């Protein structure tokens, strides 16, 4: 394949359709990094305690907007954390608020702050039916949590055990399979109807499990779903760069302070908001598919959420820059993706 010689690229302003902003002192870092280049972001609700009601989401949204640099029009799109107790009325309130754009399904115990997650879909039946009726998307962390299932197989097993029955039970529910990591998930999304889409992270495009485990354990590359083998990475790259509108940008940027990552029991999450668009540009360039970046980053997600596409633009230039080893994060350091290494693209306007 011939390498592209593109050195500058102008796109409609992108949105991040899967983001962890955290709260309070952390917001200064996370909100300003994301708001630099992204117009909107779908904000994950896995705080402690989780954001389970519209009232909590609106208060959280205000704290995010307060942390936003002056003059920036960043728009946080809120989500609610689905629990066994989410009522039909809460779904209606979420919809009526106009500020809540989706519900997030965490299987209990699947990842960071997911203890309050769903243990069984049966108690959620009324809430799911209401989401289906109102066309509020369900965002799915697609991993089973049974201890007997190997961690590398948890996404694949989830497709058969949970996703297929869910889609049969709710035939018009809109579902986003979040941060997909396997060829199995790519195939599943491709064979499903138009109400099913998926987000893909920059780390799952640029890294595989060797980056986690070869030459020692690399705690800063530990995330969930865990990085998979190279063949899965290749399937994700093919999907993201295919121009198929079912696949769009969601960074899953998920900061944890350095000492919580470099720990005997390190937290799951990779911080990419400092350089997200540039990292995607690297992945797309390596696949000789820079012409497909705009659809993935700036069009397909908005279309799926039935929101207007952004009309402003952003320009990237082929220019290497050095990522700082750490960034301040509240009163702690944060080690970002590519810490102390070069990134080949830079947003210039
Ligand atoms: O790596 C991850 N970190 N995956 C998730 O699903 C949650 C996230 C977090 O909140 O830290
Ligand atoms: Zn996430």
Rounded to the nearest 5 degrees, what angle is found at the Cα of 83, between the Cα atoms of 149 and 101?
105
Q: Are 343 and 349 in contact (CB under 8 A)?
A: no
Complete DSSP assignment for 59-75: HHHHHHHHTSPTT---E
Q: What is the rounded distance in angstroms from the CA atom of residue 86 to the CA atom of residue 298?
A: 32
If 0-12 CB within 10 Å is exposed, 13-18 middle and 19+ buried, where does residue 35 land? buried
- In ligand 1, which atom is closest to the CA atom of 46? 10
Scanning the structure block, which residue is given the tokens 């889409």? 197
The ligand that comes nearest to the alpha carbon of residue 222 is: 1
pLDDT computed for residue 109 by the predictor:
83
Pocket of ligand 1 (CB under 6 A): 20, 46, 111-112, 141, 223-224, 254, 268-269
- Mutation to probe ligand 1, out of 260, 269, 329 (largest number of atoms < 8 A from CB): 269
What residues are labeled active site? 252
**Model confidence pTM above 0.85:** yes
Structure tokens at 206: 């640029």
Q: Is the pLDDT of residue 95 over 80?
A: yes
Q: Is the pLDDT of residue 1 over 70?
A: no
- The rounded Å distance from CA 34 to ligand 2 centre is 15
Q: What are phi and psi of 239, to 5 degrees?
A: -65, -50
pLDDT tens sequence across 204-261: 999 999 999 999 999 999 999 999 999 999 999 999 999 999 999 999 999 999 999 9
Structure tokens at 321: 């820059």
- The rounded Å distance from CA 184 to ligand 1 centre is 21
Q: What are phi and psi of 282, to 5 degrees?
A: -60, -45
26-55: average pLDDT: 98
- In ligand 1, which atom is closest to the CA atom of 110? 6
Cβ atoms < 10 Å from Cβ of 4:
16
User: Atom 10 of ligand 1 has which residue's CA nearest to it?
Assistant: 112
- In ligand 1, which atom is closest to the CA atom of 178? 6
Q: What is the rounded distance in angstroms from the CA atom of residue 19 to the CA atom of residue 187?
A: 24
Structure tokens at 255: 């900061």
Name the helix (H) or strand (E) containing 77.
Answer: strand 75-81
pLDDT tens sequence across 140-174: 999 999 999 999 999 999 999 999 999 999 999 99
The full 3-state SS of 292-331, as one line of letters, equals: HHHHHHHHHHHHHCCCCCCCCEEEEEEEEEECCCCEEECC
User: Would you place residue 112 in the very low, low, confident or very high pLDDT band (cuts 50, 70, 90)?
Assistant: confident
User: Would you place residue 2 in the very low, low, confident or very high pLDDT band (cuts 50, 70, 90)?
Assistant: low
- The rounded Å distance from CA 252 to ligand 2 centre is 4
- The rounded Å distance from CA 20 to ligand 2 centre is 6
Rounded to the nearest 5 degrees, what angle is found at the Cα of 5, between the Cα atoms of 16 and 34?
15
- Report the candidate in 101, 132, 107 with the shortest Cα–Cα distance to residue 46: 107
């Amino acid at each position: 394949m011939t390498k592209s010689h593109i050195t500058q690229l102008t796109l409609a302003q992108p949105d991040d359709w899967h983001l962890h902003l955290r709260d309070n002192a952390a917001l200064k870092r996370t909100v300003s990094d994301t708001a630099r280049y992204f117009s909107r972001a779908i904000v994950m609700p896995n705080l402690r305690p989780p954001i389970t009601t519209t009232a909590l989401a609106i208060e959280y949204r205000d704290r995010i907007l307060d942390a936003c640099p002056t003059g920036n029009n960043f728009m946080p799109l809120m989500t609610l954390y689905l629990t066994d107790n989410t009522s039909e009325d809460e779904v209606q309130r979420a919809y009526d608020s106009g500020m809540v754009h989706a519900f997030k399904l965490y299987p209990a115990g699947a990842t960071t702050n997911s203890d309050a997650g769903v243990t069984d879909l049966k108690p959620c039946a009324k809430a799911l039916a209401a989401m289906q009726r109102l066309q509020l998307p369900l965002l799915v962390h697609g991993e089973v949590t049974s201890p007997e299932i190997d961690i590398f197989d948890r996404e694949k097993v989830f497709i058969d055990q949970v996703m297929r029955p869910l889609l049969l039970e709710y035939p018009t529910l809109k579902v986003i399979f979040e941060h997909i990591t396997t060829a199995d998930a790519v195939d599943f999304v491709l064979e499903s109807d138009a109400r099913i889409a998926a987000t893909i992270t920059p780390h799952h495009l640029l890294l595989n499990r060797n980056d986690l485990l070869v030459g020692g354990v690399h705690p800063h590359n530990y995330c969930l779903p865990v990085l998979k083998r190279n063949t899965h990475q290749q399937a994700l790259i093919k999907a993201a760069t295919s121009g198929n509108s079912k696949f769009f940008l969601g960074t899953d940027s998920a900061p944890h302070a350095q000492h919580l990552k470099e720990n005997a029991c390190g937290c799951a999450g990779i911080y990419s908001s400092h350089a997200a668009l540039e990292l995607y540009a690297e992945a797309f360039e390596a696949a000789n598919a820079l012409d497909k970046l705009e659809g993935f980053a700036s069009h397909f997600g908005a279309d799926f959420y039935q929101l207007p596409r952004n009309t402003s633009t952003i320009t990237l230039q082929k220019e290497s820059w050095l990522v700082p080893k750490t960034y301040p994060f509240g009163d702690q350091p944060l080690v970002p993706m590519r810490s102390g290494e070069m990134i080949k693209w830079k947003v210039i306007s």
